[in-house]
Amino acid sequence: MRTLALPCAAWTLCGALATLPAQSPLAAKSFLPSDYRNVVCADLAAMRNKGIWDELQASVLKTVFQQMEKEAGFELGALDRVTSVADPGTGNSWRDTADSTRVMVFEGNASLGMPESMRQHWTEEKIGAFTVRALRDLELCVNPRPELLVFGSASVVRPVLEGKPHSGLPSADVMSLLSGRDDSLAYLVFNTALPLLRNEVLGRVFPDTPWAEGQAPAFVCVRVLATGDADDPHLGVEAVLRHAAEGAGMDVSATAADALLERLAAMPQLRTVKPLLQRVEKKRDRTDLVYSLDLGRAREAVGQVAALAGLLFKARSAEPVHATIDAPPAPAPQPKK
């Protein structure tokens, strides 16, 4: 009888353990704050699947990618997706914004190491079962598992490591702007109801635009997408200006966007892409103004995208910031079906 007691006890213990909930590894979205309203994402895996990445590596961006790899400490071939979520807080400029938070999540198909600069200058500490690098208790960097690298504000990252993961779900507006679009290669969404982003985005892109109070766009969304034949896709760009309500504000936004396109088309350094700018399609979808542009097949489009991105950045940096744009009300449009 004693010879059977130990095996029976072992089987009883195994059965009890089997009923306990399994400890699943932390998901990437667990580190994204709930109800976030600002996001930037690049899906490298989707670019590879559609053959876009090979074209990008063969373009003038190759040197930029090499520098990024040097700073990151891992090859971009190991990276599938990077997502950045930020809340700039209530200040009107980066200098007086003490309540801002940010987090960047890198998802890979192989081990993603920490940048060497963090290993050298950030202190090491333990949070729960995780070894992290910390910068003055303000920012943390951690590999929850080899293929996942997280960097961000301690107030966002620490609770997750202590067993309180975030839902990782965006706000209703962000969700509706991005839902049902599996053709996205990269996207950004900014909540321009926030003072800092209102001035940084609307003030620079649409300087001196006279929106009445509460009528300026509440969200700006830009997507890079791949459409058409999966074996020979087209690259496209889509921009959406979402307003809190239909009305005169949308007319002001449309006039401002048309003026921006005219300014770009008149720039001598953009003469090679002027025919593209003239093909921009415009439409209204309830409270959204949508501008879309088909850049053509990937091979021809990548070079134009790289050149246009650099020139647009220079043009944007040269524009004056209009600091008195009225804030739209707190956004409350329901998600579009």
Q: Taking 90 as the threshold, does the pLDDT of residue 314 lie above it?
A: no
> CB–CB of 206/255 below 8 Å?
no
Residues forming beta bridges with residue 184, ordered by sequence position: 225
Model confidence over 189-242: pLDDT tens digits? 999 988 888 888 888 889 888 898 889 999 999 998 887 777 777 788 899 999
Q: Which pLDDT does position 273 carry in this prediction?
A: 72
Cα 74 to the chain's mean position, in Å? 20
pTM of the predicted protein model: 0.79
Q: What percent of the chain has pLDDT over 70?
A: 76
More confident residue, 89 or 147: 147
Q: How far apart are CA 58 and CA 54, in angstroms?
A: 6
Q: What is the pLDDT of residue 16?
A: 42
Question: Which tops the pLDDT comparison, 182 or 119?
Answer: 119
Q: Nearest 5°: phi and psi at 132?
A: -125, 165
More confident residue, 100 or 161: 161
| CA–centroid distance for 307 within its chain | 21
Tell me which amino acid residue 140 is: L
Give the separation between CA 56 and CA 72, rounded to whole angstroms. 19
Q: What is the pLDDT of residue 24?
A: 54
- Cα 157–Cα 160–Cα 165 angle in degrees, nearest 5: 125
Domain ranges of the chain: 38-167, 171-337
Residue 75 has pLDDT above 50, yes or no: yes
**What is the pLDDT, as a whole number, of residue 311?**
53
Q: Is the pLDDT of residue 180 over 60?
A: yes
101-116 pLDDT, tens digit each = 899 999 999 999 888 7
- Per-residue pLDDT tens digits for 18-58: 443 444 578 999 999 999 999 999 999 988 888 777 777 66
Q: Residues 243-298: pLDDT tens digits?
A: 998 889 999 999 999 998 888 888 887 777 777 778 889 999 999 999 998 877 76
pLDDT score of 141: 93
SS3 96: helix
Mean pLDDT of 161-165: 93
Query: What Cα–Cα distance (Å) separates residue 67 from each residue in 57, 63, 72, 222?
Result: 13, 6, 9, 25
